[in-house]
A and B are shown apart, each in its own frame.
Chain A
């Protein structure tokens, strides 16, 4: 199993006290971006970008934004000044679901963290991707701390009608998946001089 870097994604490698070394080369943050009907970034997407860049300040990896849908390539241009390392556009190609396409991409690129906006679609897609990749997903995350030793996210959210604050760690699978609660993001700074490259994925 050690020869197969993707085994952990199928749940085949679930060692005790799993740490980064068991997860092969899993690295990088992916954020799924959403726009309004005019192609303008939603507030949730901006918060997500801000939080991802903040976390990446500690992780020292890269942040990729991801867009899907018929107009994704046009809308991707709205995100080029947000300081992302790359913007990925998933083309509608073979009729497979977004979940399948995301999962294929994740198996190839092995991100360590995947963040979705806390929207109806974001939560639904996150749960489906988490099921397919056999990994953990924490919804409505309000705060994140990083254990740099294991590169695990300590993701805090509320349960039991807001009476219980719980912190959850995905220790034994990657990517770690979350939706970010509204208002939990970090301020984002636009740069007119820098432009993130756009890459169209043919999955």
Chain B
């Protein structure tokens, strides 16, 4: 059984500052794995522990610096990881979900897809649900894990060291969707930082 965990990386709001002149969040420090993604990884770990012949993969859409988040996912005991390299707005669930679905078609549509619910960081957890729909995964093959749904076990030092040597493949977003396909249908018209 092929199980995929869809995880995300979010800005570190304790370090980042919002630039009112540029109307943009100036991110500082590496992006972090949100708690809901840890819940996703714990759920996948439990599936693996209670079934035989399970292969697990973590998948993330982001930039090269976010490889560290995938390595953390591998420390949770997953077998492989895939980074989709793409400069996509943190709030663009339409494009993000289409890229991830394309990547999963290329890698092999999973038997089970595990995604996180709302992390409070953007689109309310809709990316994972959209991916499930694009891949025609009904609810029996699709697990939506809400934040706090389980108690993630913190990886020990051995698991963290082992994660460094596990397979991590990279796919480029512009090779998954090209031309007109690599285009969103929605735009941001206004932002206001409330702090």
Contact = CB atoms under 8 A, between A and B. Distances in A.
B195 A131 contact: no
Interface in B89-118: 91, 93-94, 97, 118
B186 A123 contact: no
Interface string B67-100: 0000000000000000000000001011001000
Interface in A166-198: 166-173, 179
A14 B191 contact: no
Nearest to A157: B124
A119 interface: no
Contacts of A167: 188-191
A168 B185 contact: no
B134 A162 contact: no
Contact of B194 (A128, A140, A154, A162): A162
B130 A130 contact: yes
A161 B13 contact: yes
Contacts, number: 115
A14 B125 contact: no
Interface string B171-195: 0000000001001111111111111
A137 interface: yes
B188 A166 contact: yes
A127 interface: yes
Interface residues of B, number: 39
Contact of A162 (B97, B120, B186): B120
A159 B121 CA distance: 5
Contacts of A101: none
B188 A127 contact: no
Contact of A165 (B125, B138, B191): B191
Contacts of B130: 127-128, 130-131
B91 A159 contact: yes
A164 B129 contact: no
B132 interface: yes
B17 to A, nearest CB: 11
A168 B187 contact: yes
Main SS class of interface, B? mixed
A164 B183 contact: no
Contact of A171 (B118, B131, B185): B185
A136 interface: yes
A163 B55 CA distance: 38
Given A130-B130, A131-B129, A167-B191, A159 B185 contact: no
A14 B126 contact: no
Contact of A124 (B94, B121, B144, B190): B144
B133 interface: yes
Q: Among the interface residues A97, A130, A173, which one has the most CB atoms of the partner chain B within 10 A?
A: A130
A168 B126 CA distance: 15
A35 interface: no
Interface in A52-79: none
Interface of A: 11, 14, 97, 99, 123-124, 126-128, 130-132, 134-140, 154, 156, 158-173, 179
Q: Considering the complex of A and B, which 3 residue pairs feature the smallest CB-CB distances, nearest first?
A: A139-B124, A136-B186, A127-B129
30 contacts: A123-B125, A123-B126, A123-B129, A127-B93, A127-B126, A127-B133, A128-B133, A131-B133, A134-B94, A134-B185, A136-B185, A137-B94, A137-B126, A156-B190, A160-B120, A163-B18, A163-B193, A163-B195, A164-B18, A164-B25, A164-B193, A165-B191, A165-B193, A166-B91, A166-B188, A167-B189, A169-B188, A170-B186, A171-B186, A173-B186
